[in-house]
Amino acid sequence: MSSASTLTLSGWRWRQYGKANEDWHQCAHDKPTTEIFTDLIDAKIIPDPFIDENERHVQWVGEADWEYACDFQYEPDSGHSRQDLVFAGLDTVATVLLNEEKEILNSTNMFHRHRVDVTGKLRHGLNTLRIVFKSALHYGRELERKHGSYRAFSGENSRAHVRKAQYHYGWDWGPLLMTCGPCGDIKLESYSSTLIDVFADARVSDDLSSASLNVRFEATLDQDVTTKVTVTAPDGNVFNTNAALSLAAKESRGSVSLEIHEPQLWYPVGHGPQVFYLVDVAIMNRDQIPLHHVKKLVGMRRLRLVQQPLKGESGTSFFFEVNNKPVYVSGSNWIPGHSFLTAMTAKDYALAVDRCVKANQNMLRIWGGGIYEHDALYEECDRRGVLVWQDFAFACAQYPCYPEFVATVKREAVDQVKRLRQYCSIVLYAGNNEDYQIAEMLNLTWDREDHSGDWTDTNFPARTLYETHLPVVVAEYAPAVPYHPSSPWGGDGTTDRTVGDIHQWNVWHGSQEKYQLWDKLVGRFVSEFGMLGFPAAKSIRRYVTDPAQRYPQSRVLDLHNKADGAERRLALYVLGNIRVNSLDLDSWIYATQLIQGECLSFAVRSCRRQWKGPGQEYCGGQLIWQINDCWPVSSWAIIDFYGDKKMAYFMTMRDSAPLALGISRSTPELKKLKSPPPQILAPPHDLAPKTYVCDIWAMNGTLQDTQAQIEIRLYDISTGDLREENSMGIQSLFSNRTTELMEDLSVDDQTAVQAIMRDAHDGHVIARASDWPQPLKYVSLCDAPDVTVSVLDDKLEIRSNVPVKGLVISVVPDDRDVEFEDNAVDVFPNDVYTIVARGLKKDDQVEVRYYGSEF
Ligand code: BMA
């Protein structure tokens, strides 16, 4: 009798399917997962689709069928009565054959997981698994012919029928690359008795004084076993070794419960530690020999999505509460990290989460047009305290709801929620991305009073998935996690700013509002908003190989910008706001990144200001669209595909800091408005008056009340003269909310305001904020500012005799590996701005660019 053994298959070969005399190609790597695009690139059969215009030349790959094969050894073990092949995911239309020609599996859903009993079907010694992947494009078009056409935005309509990552069909930031292949691990498990699934469901009592831990497991048994559950607390305390349970061979499920007093709780980043209980479930045979065991890390937290009336405003709140403490969310939307997901490594996910934490962000929304992410991403989110909003994998389409579709979706939901439910960072499941918005746009039947639960006969049939089938799966398999039918969703429709979440795209898309009006666009929770910005010059050099194509409107750069009307909208926001004297690539990169940063910074400050304490959580958070890219592109991402951080990354990092300052500039008339004024009444010069009033506030996202010293200085922008100074002395900043510090400070159109927050005891600078007349294009700048940058080992010091905006430092040459902890800063006279720059050496050359320096 021996314990279970597992073999992960690897060493694939591949070829085009159905092509006469086609030879097999051995994969260039030995990884367990692979896919056709990366293999074709490795074999030099296609050029890298990420480079130049190659995307156009590789479209035939998605129209073709492909097959993969791999050999593996199997030596029977008399102790093992059963063998399973376990598939973590196949992309997408796959037929699996074992040892020429036993068909053991057909799969048409990339998000399904499979366990196939192959007992008696394996040969002793060498075995071969072959998988045929039919073109998902053709498959979808067939389904479309059969079941009718459903409208999809981004990608072709047929995608609505196919349960494959929807962004593979092309998106407004992503290429059309219809890849396929064995994208998830495939394992041969040989055993007599095994645990198939373990879920340690931890429920923390309302007063946090105890937790009940219910450990549920599923097993396949060929004999009677005893199970043993061992729980090790974060402090090393081991308990409950007595909780043994006997299971008879015919049984397949069991559970063990225990109470934990004074549990050690898991917190989101900034609220407390990320600690875990280790739950070890073992099954043993009659002689107490272990047959199999599974370990789970369990973070215990009490979780609520709070939607309750607010003081003095209509609608309801929408914020997350963890361990009875409200958590203001400053986060981002996450799209898949690559067009070819098998190229992503655990290290890539760890780095992505690290960048999110370093940007003072505490949530990632895993957007519905991508995938249910790799375990590595959730593991890292658990470990770093980053909350996860998980969409189900539907986006921007009218989806069908015929019986086969419902069946495949229900199974997908069960497979994925069972996989994900142990991750304590997941705080919400949402039914889809923007499908109710699509219903509104297409004027589909969506009667909010109709709660029948079955809308399959309407032209918005998928409502039945989002409001009936998916919530049932979440309630059954992840009962402690709230469910939200869509993002956005709530109240009178998807644009209701007073209930639920909104996607605020009236800056950039929609009515294309001025970003200076962001304070009038805030909702209860803003789960998407964004502004496009070009990637770094060094990134562009990597994907645009012909130097002649390195200008902003080039054919290649246009191909690497998928956003509808992007050049017009970028021009609108750049030209409407800043002075541009040159359209060379470097200047355009700077210009687009500056307006992206300005826009997102206005948004983050405006949202966060509305977190005003108990009963006044008028905004519970904001999620930037988007933190990452899946290929090299000009997009809304704040970190480009090659990892270079755009200016917006740093600017919003400062706005999201635990302790931060905010300044807004307005006119008394504009201040009164709750929504942007009708555009016809507000030509640009009306928003650029000669005098303004400023409000100044502080944000304390920590859980401690804090005392801080606040200083306000007003400077003439062109001369650097200090016009007014106001030391507000020590101010009390109450925990977990904003505190208004000053109202209606009058300033004129040549004055920039700087606010500094200092530690009340030792005077060190905790936070800075600045505010400038808008739009910046009307501001007179100093002709010859004296800006000095002192380069030291691992840091820089910046000084200036006049206020400068958006100062960016880069090392020359720019491919040196230096990590700037801050950048894109505003520098004021009488202040030394120090930036930590790891890897910087004191004789390094740096390049300095700021608003006005190159225009
Ligand atoms: C949204 C998203 C995406 C899209 C983005 C930018 O609303 O959900 O579908 O990529 O806007 O247009």
DSSP string, 216-243: EEEEE-SS-EEEEEEEE-TTS-EE-TT-
What SS3 state is found at 662?
Answer: strand
Ligand 1 centroid–CA 434 distance in Å is: 8
- Among 75-79, 398-402, 476-480, which stretch is predicted with the lowest mean pLDDT? 75-79
Beta carbon of 171 within 6 Å of any ligand 1 atom: yes
Nearest CA to ligand 1 atom 8: 433
Ligand 1 centroid–CA 745 distance in Å is: 38
Ligand 1 centroid–CA 172 distance in Å is: 7
pLDDT per residue as tens digits for the range 52-97:
999 999 999 999 999 999 999 999 988 899 999 999 999 999 999 9
Ligand 1 centroid–CA 432 distance in Å is: 12
pLDDT per residue as tens digits for the range 593-623:
999 999 999 999 999 999 999 999 999 999 9
Whole-number pLDDT of residue 20:
80
Nearest CA to ligand 1 atom 10: 172
Per-residue pLDDT band for 315 (boundaries 50, 70, 90) equals very high
DSSP readout, 232-290? E-TTS-EE-TT-EEEE-TT--EEEEEEEEESPPPP--TTTS----EEEEEEEE-TT--E
Per-residue pLDDT band for 645 (boundaries 50, 70, 90) equals very high
Average pLDDT over residues 357-381: 98
Whole-number pLDDT of residue 250:
79
Per-residue pLDDT band for 321 (boundaries 50, 70, 90) equals very high
3-class SS letters over 820-836: ECCCCEEECCCCCEEEE
Which structure tokens are listed for 109? Answer: 């859903």
Ligand 1 centroid–CA 338 distance in Å is: 17
Percent of the chain predicted with pLDDT > 90 = 90
For the chain, domains (ranges, CATH) are: 5-189 (2.60.120.260), 209-264+266-298 (2.60.40.10), 303-391+488-656 (3.20.20.80), 658-677+688-780 (2.60.40.10), 782-855 (2.60.40.10)
Beta carbon of 39 within 6 Å of any ligand 1 atom: no
Q: Which atom of ligand 1 is nearest to the CA of 434?
A: 8
Nearest CA to ligand 1 atom 12: 172
Q: Could you tell which of 367, 392, 625 is best to mutate to test the pocket of ligand 1, judged by most ligand atoms within 8 Å of the CB? A: 625
Average pLDDT over residues 145-149: 96
Whole-number pLDDT of residue 243:
53
Ligand 1 centroid–CA 333 distance in Å is: 10
Whole-number pLDDT of residue 403:
97
Ligand 1 centroid–CA 154 distance in Å is: 9
> CA–CA separation, 278 vs 298, rounded Å?
6
Alpha helices in 644-760 (DSSP H): 647-655, 668-672
- Is the bond preceding residue 461 a cis peptide, omega within 30 degrees? no
Beta carbon of 396 within 6 Å of any ligand 1 atom: yes
Whole-number pLDDT of residue 210:
97
Beta carbon of 91 within 6 Å of any ligand 1 atom: no
Whether the pLDDT of residue 684 is over 60: the answer is: no
Ligand 1 centroid–CA 511 distance in Å is: 15
Nearest CA to ligand 1 atom 9: 396
Beta carbon of 193 within 6 Å of any ligand 1 atom: no
Ligand 1 centroid–CA 423 distance in Å is: 26
Nearest CA to ligand 1 atom 4: 172
Beta carbon of 503 within 6 Å of any ligand 1 atom: yes
Per-residue pLDDT band for 689 (boundaries 50, 70, 90) equals confident
Return the closest-CA partner of residue 80 out of 187, 180, 2, 17.
2
Neighbours of 458 (CB within 10 A): 17
Please state whether beta strands 819-820 and 833-838 pair in parallel, antiparallel, or not at all (unpaired).
antiparallel
Beta carbon of 630 within 6 Å of any ligand 1 atom: no
Nearest CA to ligand 1 atom 6: 172
DSSP readout, 288-327? --EEEEEEEEE----EEEE--EETTEEEE--EEEETTEEE
Q: Which atom of ligand 1 is nearest to the CA of 433?
A: 8
Q: Which atom of ligand 1 is nearest to the CA of 154?
A: 9
pLDDT per residue as tens digits for the range 226-280:
998 999 999 999 976 555 577 888 778 989 899 999 999 999 999 999 999 999 9
Per-residue pLDDT band for 855 (boundaries 50, 70, 90) equals very low
Average pLDDT over residues 202-230: 94
Whether the pLDDT of residue 680 is over 70: the answer is: no
Beta carbon of 133 within 6 Å of any ligand 1 atom: no
> CA–CA separation, 670 vs 649, rounded Å?
29
Beta carbon of 399 within 6 Å of any ligand 1 atom: no
Beta carbon of 781 within 6 Å of any ligand 1 atom: no
Q: Could you tell which of 153, 167, 396 is best to mutate to test the pocket of ligand 1, judged by most ligand atoms within 8 Å of the CB? A: 396
Q: Could you tell which of 434, 486, 502, 624 is best to mutate to test the pocket of ligand 1, judged by most ligand atoms within 8 Å of the CB? A: 434
Beta carbon of 52 within 6 Å of any ligand 1 atom: no
Beta carbon of 697 within 6 Å of any ligand 1 atom: no
Ligand 1 centroid–CA 416 distance in Å is: 23
Beta carbon of 640 within 6 Å of any ligand 1 atom: no
Average pLDDT over residues 110-115: 98
Q: Which atom of ligand 1 is nearest to the CA of 509?
A: 12
pLDDT per residue as tens digits for the range 646-674:
999 999 999 999 999 999 999 988 899 99
The larger pLDDT score, comparing residue 147 to residue 240, is at: 147
Beta carbon of 172 within 6 Å of any ligand 1 atom: yes
Crossing angle of the two packed helices 470-477 and 403-420, in degrees rounded to 10: 30
Whole-number pLDDT of residue 245:
74
> CA–CA separation, 334 vs 352, rounded Å?
10
Ligand 1 centroid–CA 672 distance in Å is: 31
Neighbours of 489 (CB within 10 A): 24
Beta carbon of 528 within 6 Å of any ligand 1 atom: yes
Beta carbon of 716 within 6 Å of any ligand 1 atom: no
Q: Which atom of ligand 1 is nearest to the CA of 173?
A: 10
For residue 119, give the amino acid letter: T
Q: Would you name the residues annotated as active-site residues?
A: 434
> CA–CA separation, 757 vs 738, rounded Å?
14
What SS3 state is found at 722?
Answer: strand
Ligand 1 centroid–CA 261 distance in Å is: 45
Whether the pLDDT of residue 503 is over 50: the answer is: yes
Q: Which atom of ligand 1 is nearest to the CA of 636?
A: 6
Return the closest-CA partner of residue 604 out of 651, 637, 646.
651
> CA–CA separation, 53 vs 579, rounded Å?
32
Ligand 1 centroid–CA 175 distance in Å is: 14
Per-residue pLDDT band for 794 (boundaries 50, 70, 90) equals very high
Beta carbon of 173 within 6 Å of any ligand 1 atom: yes
Q: Which atom of ligand 1 is nearest to the CA of 563?
A: 12
Q: Could you tell which of 168, 169, 172, 561 is best to mutate to test the pocket of ligand 1, judged by most ligand atoms within 8 Å of the CB? A: 172
Ligand 1 centroid–CA 441 distance in Å is: 15
What SS3 state is found at 391?
Answer: strand
Nearest CA to ligand 1 atom 1: 528
Name, in order, each residue with C-beta under 8 angstroms of 459's C-beta and a sequence gap of 6 or more.
398, 442, 444, 445
> CA–CA separation, 574 vs 572, rounded Å?
6
Which structure tokens are listed for 125? Answer: 């010694």
Beta carbon of 92 within 6 Å of any ligand 1 atom: no
pLDDT per residue as tens digits for the range 374-387:
999 999 999 999 99
Q: Which atom of ligand 1 is nearest to the CA of 508?
A: 12
Average pLDDT over residues 212-216: 94
Whether the pLDDT of residue 487 is over 50: the answer is: yes
> CA–CA separation, 198 vs 215, rounded Å?
7
C-alpha to C-alpha distances, 677 to 514, 668, 680, nearest whole angstrom: 10, 14, 8
> CA–CA separation, 26 vs 295, rounded Å?
36
Whether the pLDDT of residue 465 is over 70: the answer is: yes
Write phi, then psi, for 695 (nearest 5 degrees). Answer: -110, 145
pLDDT per residue as tens digits for the range 797-811:
999 999 999 999 999
> CA–CA separation, 274 vs 206, rounded Å?
20
Alpha helices in 421-536 (DSSP H): 435-441, 463-464, 470-477
Return the closest-CA partner of residue 843 out of 804, 790, 799, 805.
790
